[in-house]
Amino acid sequence: METPLTPLEFARRTRKLYPERVAVIDRESRRTYEQFFDRCDRWSAVLQKIGIAPGDRVAYLSPNTHAQLESFYAVPQIGAVLVPLNYRLTADDFVYLINHSGSRMICADRDYLETINGIREQLPKVEHFVALTGEAQGWLHYEAMISACSPEFTRPEIHETDLLTINYTSGTTSRPKGVMITHRNAWMNSVGTLLYAPMTCADRYLWTLPMFHANGWTFVWTVTAAGATHICLRKCEPRAVFELMKTEQVTTLCAAPTVLISLANAPENLRRLAPKGIHVITAGAPPAANTIQRLEQDLGWTITHVYGLTETAPFITVCESRVEHASLPIGERAAIKARQGVELITSGELRVVDSEGNDVPHDGATQGEIIARGNVVMAGYYDDPEATAKALRGGWFHTGDAAVVHPDGYAEIRDRLKDVIISGGENISSVEVEGVLLRHPAVQEVAIVGFPHEKWGEAPHAFVVLHEGASADERELLDFARANLAHFKAPHSVTFVNELPKTATGKIQKYILRKQQPAIALQ
């Protein structure tokens, strides 16, 4: 006897076991799991009544709210496909993503109604416009429709290979690609996550990570699987984060390294609000060991570093703690935690290979590309067979990430392949240089990019954000880098900036920084 692997099974079980427990907190609103799933069912019924059928795409444009969370259950349980959109994109981006996905409906938060109204004529496939919050002429009202509809709907048969979501990549070098995630992909990632970041029905998860990003790293379903509480946060700002940590007694959250940096550098009066023992899952970019050390040592949090991509649902490695790590000094332990680590039990196989497809030696020095295969790897890119064939060539997903493997088998990313700086024939890892500069007491954030150099071909340049009230000049930082790195790896110059350009999930957009190259005079 077989039943399909789908995160909808988590909903069935939690609904049965924890109906009275608080499912979601969204500002003043608190709803139990019984109330939450009743609303999901009512919205599913509405969708069916207005003609949304299995396979139809439904796009959402919303920050982290209860309505956005409900979409991850109400849409797929009628066999439709959810398309969560990055709300930080432009109107032109929305036109492309909505049309490319073939979405028949767009559901938008009040903050985006005006933007969508401005592009309506460019969305010929969209038949229904739904205001999740707020009101506007020509928009259906989400809450009114839920209140007016019964929770009865027809449940179609769901296969684990059915499409669950289409999640668009950032599109930093080309048009965004629509990653097709199946029910099986999401189930595997959620279960694998719970093995390394265990939660129970007593846990309280704070939504600092956008739900649209790789389905909130599948925590939209993982938290529910445990019967834990979702605490919504519309905008991730340090003050709001720390205040919610105290008032709601948060136990768990996910955050990209740039978000962790902002929390580690928040004013002392805010950091004192945070309970000890918070479990943080970080991914999205290689975190600096210094950031991990500060959060664990100063705030008493526990950091688990995982790695993956939207295309892998998203986790494929975890920096798994070992008994022998516990006795190491905090600095050494943090350095190990900054590595990407080893395969999750559920993620499948991972290798680091050279240009000929051979595994690199486990020497912590020889770089290769991370490739993976397994049950979390996407079904492909939506309506893009050429990109799919390229990414999945040879039966492996090619990540584009350059890494080494240490003697203990732990992988460590050194860069995106496209970000590796080749200077005088030597490869320079921007991640390594950034990690060193982050140890300087005046540096809050840093991004290293390669710019053309007449003599060396390329040379590293540093974009630096200083701590508020701190001071450092270019010479001081260059000397600090040269004292802690091989000289050829040290930046040749520094640009001080107030902030670094980032994606909605906190990844630094180095392609934007590279455009500033003509203004930089390298020595």
User: Is 10 part of a structural domain of the chain?
Assistant: no
Q: Is the pLDDT of residue 172 over 60?
A: no
**Averaged pLDDT, 163-169:** 96
234-255 per-position pLDDT tens digit: 999 999 999 999 999 999 999 9
pLDDT at 523: 47
Q: Helix (H) and strand (E) counts for the chain? A: 18, 26
35-81 per-position pLDDT tens digit: 999 999 999 999 999 999 999 999 999 999 999 999 999 999 999 99
Q: Is the pLDDT of residue 101 over 90?
A: yes
Q: Which of the listed residues 359, 381, 416 is the one where a domain comes to its end?
A: 416
* Same domain? 44 vs 157: yes
pLDDT at 174: 63
* Same domain? 33 vs 56: yes
pLDDT at 519: 53
**Averaged pLDDT, 105-130:** 98
Q: Which of the listed residues 369, 398, 416 is the one where a domain comes to its end?
A: 416
User: Is 345 part of a structural domain of the chain?
Assistant: yes
**Averaged pLDDT, 432-440:** 93
User: Is 126 part of a structural domain of the chain?
Assistant: yes
CA-based Rg of the chain, rounded to a whole angstrom?
Answer: 23
pLDDT at 308: 95
Q: Which of the listed residues 416, 444, 461 is the one where a domain comes to its end?
A: 416
pLDDT at 443: 96
* Same domain? 60 vs 140: yes
- CATH number of residue 101's parent domain: 3.40.50.12780
With tokens 């097709």, the residue in question is: 180
442-490 per-position pLDDT tens digit: 999 999 999 888 788 889 999 999 999 999 999 999 999 999 998 889 9
42, 71 contact by CB (below 8 A): no
* Same domain? 154 vs 81: yes
d(CA 290, CA 429): 17
Between residues 506 and 350, the one the model is more confident about: 350
Containing H/E element for 40?
Answer: helix 33-49
pLDDT at 486: 85
| SS3 category, 517 | helix
* Same domain? 425 vs 411: no
Say how far residue 234 (Cα) sits from the centre of its chain. 16
Domain total for the chain? Answer: 3
Mean pLDDT of the chain: 94
* Angle (CA) 469 475 481, round 5°: 90
- CATH number of residue 476's parent domain: 3.30.300.30
* Same domain? 176 vs 280: no
- pLDDT band for 171, please (50, 70, 90 cuts): low
User: Is 205 part of a structural domain of the chain?
Assistant: no
291-341 per-position pLDDT tens digit: 899 999 999 999 999 999 999 999 999 999 999 998 999 899 999 999 999
Tokens of 476: 């001081």
User: Is 13 part of a structural domain of the chain?
Assistant: no
Q: Is the pLDDT of residue 425 over 80?
A: no
User: Domain range spanning residue 38?
Assistant: 29-182
pLDDT at 460: 93
* Same domain? 166 vs 96: yes
* Same domain? 408 vs 324: yes
- pLDDT band for 170, please (50, 70, 90 cuts): confident
* Same domain? 45 vs 163: yes
Tokens of 205: 């998860």
d(CA 344, CA 367): 22
* Same domain? 282 vs 385: yes
**Averaged pLDDT, 171-196:** 90
User: Is 227 part of a structural domain of the chain?
Assistant: no
Q: What pTM, to 2 d.p., does this model score?
A: 0.89
Q: Is the pLDDT of residue 120 over 60?
A: yes
User: Is 226 part of a structural domain of the chain?
Assistant: no
pLDDT at 521: 47
* Same domain? 243 vs 314: yes
Which residue from 355, 314, 351 is spatially nearest to 222, judged by alpha carbons? 314
d(CA 223, CA 76): 17
**Residue 333's beta-bridge partner residues?**
none
User: Is 18 part of a structural domain of the chain?
Assistant: no
125-135 per-position pLDDT tens digit: 999 999 999 99
* Same domain? 379 vs 427: no
Between residues 194 and 419, the one the model is more confident about: 194
Which residue from 274, 282, 217, 267 is spatially nearest to 250, judged by alpha carbons? 274
193, 205 contact by CB (below 8 A): no
